[in-house]
Amino acid sequence: MSSPLLTGRDLTKGYGTTPALRGASIALHAGEVLAVTGPSGSGKSTLLHCLTGIDRPDSGEVRYGAERLDRLPEHRLSELRRTEFGVVFQFGQLVPELTAADNVALPLLLAGASRAAARDRAGEWLERFGLPGRGELRPGELSGGQAQRVALARALVTEPRAVFADEPTGALDSLATEQVMTALVRTARASGTAVLLVTHDAQVAAYADREVALRNGVLTHEPEWASAPTAGTGAAAGTGAGR
Ligand SMILES: Nc1ncnc2c1ncn2[C@@H]1O[C@H](COP(=O)(O)OP(=O)(O)OP(=O)(O)O)[C@@H](O)[C@H]1O
C-alpha cells in the first residue's frame, strides 16, 4: 500500500455566491496519470488551482507529503511549483520573445543551472517531445500542438514529482491532441512523474490510468485512499483508445 503523493480532502471553494467546489476529495499517487473530467463550470480548474496552491480552498485540506499545502506561505508555494510541480494550461503561456529552447531552459536557469547546461538539457527535452530542430523558433512560429509540447517540455524539464495540466489540448484538433498526449504520457512515465489532467475531452481522459468525474463541485467517484492504482492501464499503455 503506497500513500498518495498529494491529497485534497473535503475541499470547498466559492466565488461570491457561486460554489465551485462543494466537498471534493481526491488523491494523486506517485507516477500515475489521473484524469479529472467534468462539464464546463463543474469546478475542474478550481480544483487544480487548490491542489497546486495557485488558490486556497475555503475549507478542507490539501496535503503534499507531510505538508499542509493549503497553509503554506506564498514563497514556499512558488518554490514547490518551481521545483516539484509543473503546471500547464490550455494555452501554454510560453514567453513569446524567447525561443522554444530558451522557454524550456527557463526553469533550469531559475534553479541555478548554467546557460550552457540549461540549453543542452532543453534540447534533449525538445527531442523527447518530438521537436528536434525546432529549438530556435519562437512560439509565434510554432503550431498550436508544437507550442503545447514546448510548454509540456518546460513543465517536465526539472523532472518534477507531479505535472498538472489544465485542458492541455483544449485548442487542438484530434491529431495534435494525440501527439501531445502521447508525448506527455510517455515522457512522464519515463521520469516517474505523476500527471493530473483536467479535461472535458474523452479522447484525452482515455490516456489516464484512472478517471474521476466532477459534477457541480463534487467528485462522483470516491478516491481510493487505501490502495495505489495499477499504473499503465490507460490508452497510453497501449490498450487501444486514443492512439
Ligand atoms: N475567478 C472567478 N470568479 C468568479 N467565479 C468563478 C471564478 N473562477 C471560477 N468561477 C466559477 O466557478 C465555477 C467553476 O469554475 P471552473 O473554472 O473551476 O470550472 P471548470 O470545470 O474548469 O470549467 P471549464 O471547463 O469551462 O474551464 C463556475 O461556475 C465558474 O463560473
pLDDT of residue 137: 96
215 lines ligand 1 (CB under 6 A): no
Segment 13-21 mean pLDDT: 94
Whole-number Å distance, alpha carbon 226 to ligand 1 midpoint, is 30
- What is the predicted ipTM? 0.95
Mutating to test ligand 1, I would choose from 26, 42, 52, 218 the residue with most ligand atoms within 8 A of its C-beta, which is 42
217 lines ligand 1 (CB under 6 A): no
Is residue 229 scored above 70 in pLDDT? Answer: no
pLDDT of residue 20: 95
Question: What domains can you pick out in the chain, each with its CATH number?
Answer: 6-84+160-237 (3.40.50.300)
**pLDDT band, very low/low/confident/very high, at 236 (cuts 50, 70, 90):** very low
40 lines ligand 1 (CB under 6 A): yes
**pLDDT band, very low/low/confident/very high, at 24 (cuts 50, 70, 90):** very high
* 224 against 119, higher pLDDT: 119
Segment 227-232 mean pLDDT: 49
Q: Please write the tens of the pLDDT for every residue from 114-154.
A: 999 999 999 999 998 888 889 999 999 999 889 989 999 99
**pLDDT band, very low/low/confident/very high, at 163 (cuts 50, 70, 90):** very high
Segment 14-33 mean pLDDT: 93
Is residue 178 scored above 50 in pLDDT? Answer: yes
Whole-number Å distance, alpha carbon 99 to ligand 1 midpoint, is 32
pLDDT of residue 172: 83
15 lines ligand 1 (CB under 6 A): yes
44 lines ligand 1 (CB under 6 A): yes
Three-class SS of the chain: CCCCCEEEEEEEEEECCEEEEEEEEEEECCCCEEEEECCCCCCHHHHHHHHHCCCCCCEEEEEECCEEHHHCCHHHHHHHHHHCEEEECCCCCCCCCCCHHHHHHHHHHHCCCCHHHHHHHHHHHHHHCCCCCCCCCCHHHCCHHHHHHHHHHHHHCCCCCEEEEECCCCCCCHHHHHHHHHHHHHHHHHHCCEEEEEECCHHHHCCCCEEEEEECCEECCCCCCCCCCCCCCCHHHCCCCCC
Segment 150-163 mean pLDDT: 93
* 226 against 125, higher pLDDT: 125
Q: What is the pTM of this model?
A: 0.87
81 lines ligand 1 (CB under 6 A): no
pLDDT of residue 221: 67
pLDDT of residue 226: 31
